Every structure is written in structure tokens, then in C-alpha cells.
Amino acid sequence: IDNALQQALIHFGQIDVLVNNAGYALMGAFENASEEQIQRQFDTNVFGLMRVTRTLLPHFRQRKAGLVLNVASMAGRLPIPFMSVYNGSKWAVQGFSECLTYELAPFNIQVKIVEPGAVDTAFFGRSGDRENVTGVDAYASCMDEQFPILDKTGPGGSTSEEAAEVIYGAATDGKATLRYAVGRDAKVLLSARRLLPDRVFIPMIGWSLSPTVFNSFGRLFYKKT
């Protein structure tokens, strides 16, 4: 990271925008994930983002200008079944970014968040990790129901070019906007998240991805106390 910063300064003289875009998805039940998989997920999606940001901040503070643009996900504000570790990492990015806005505002440094929905990249292919390291097979039937749906709908999302356009726009529009959704799916689901109560929204997500999960979840969620 230090070397990348120095090379960028030698080549460009200054840095105006930092885009943190590294990420991949650990998919599957939480109980199927090893400590190593969980650590790797947060190293990439959260701790790496923090390290790069921390390295750039002295340069931004010295210039009294700069923009930190963190690519999170719509999954940073809504749940996706059997992606709990990935979701946790993206919720962490959201919380970190929001809090950072207060710290950096006195130095004229902005923080923005990009929230892609499904994007037609390698996210559901080589960029995903579905390996069941622990060997627990109790969740297999539910995951067998959900993953084909994700694999079918994922490539039908926004193109990588469309996502890049949103990132570029966020970096150059000069606005004080905090969040930028990418894709119709993200815009619709994030709007629904704001408007609908948990009692409606959370089962809706379960129903759309896995009827088995929805039926089981519904019995618990609507259980009378």
C-alpha cells in the first residue's frame, strides 16, 4: 500500500480520490465457514479498505481536500440469506464510512458510499467462495434452493460499465451526497427497506430467495408471544 501511494504521487503529483473497490463474497451458512474463511472475508472487504484509507489520509489532510469512495453493497443495508459473513463485512463498511464522515469533515475530506446491487461480473463465479470447510450439511437443502436463484438473477443485474459510471459520477459530481445505489434492484430494495417494517421486509427477502427458509422463518417471526 505504501509503495502504491508513493508511485501514484510520483506519477500524478497528488491524489484527489481514493476508490476502495476490493471485495468478494463468502457464501453459505455461517456454520459452514471456517475461522480462516471469515478472517479472509473481513481482511479483503473491511480491513484492507481501512488500511488503504489510513495510508491516504495524511496526504488528504495535508492538501485539505480529498474524497474517500467506498464501494459497499446493497447487502450493507439489507439481509441476504446464507451470506451472513459477507453481509457482516458490508455492514461494517457502511458503519465505518458513515462515522468517518464526521472525523474527516474538518479537513474538507468527503466520504461517499456506492451500493451496487447485482452486477454482471465474476461475483457469482470465481469471486465467490462457497466451499463448505466444516462439513456441516444441515443447511444443504436450503442452499441448494437459493444458490440457483442467485446464479440466475445475478448476471441479469447492472453491467460493470454502468457500475463504473456511477462510481465516476460520485467521484466527480461535487455533491454532498452520501450514498449512490447502482442498478434498479438496489434502488427498489433499498427504498423498500426504508419504507417497510421489518415484519414485512425481512420475510419478503426470505420468500424471494428460498421458500423453505421463508416457511421456517415465518413460523418463528410471526410466533405469538
Of 64, 103, 76, which is closest to residue 20 (Cα–Cα)?
A: 76
Contacts made by residues 36-40, CB under 8 angstroms, sequence distance 24+: 36/133, 37/85, 37/129, 37/131, 37/133, 38/85, 40/129
Q: Among 24, 86, 168, 222, which one carries the catalytic annotation?
A: 86
Report yes or no: 167 and 70 within 8 Å, Cβ to Cβ.
no
What is the edge-to-edge ordering of all strands in the sheet holding 179-182?
17-20, 66-71, 109-116, 179-182
Is 102 assigned a catalytic role?
no
Burial 198-222 (b: 16+ CB within 10 A, else e): eeebbbebbeebbeebbeebeeeee
Amino acid found at 122: A
Of 104, 102, 76, which is closest to residue 179 (Cα–Cα)?
A: 76
Report, as residue numbers or ranges, the catalytic residues: 86
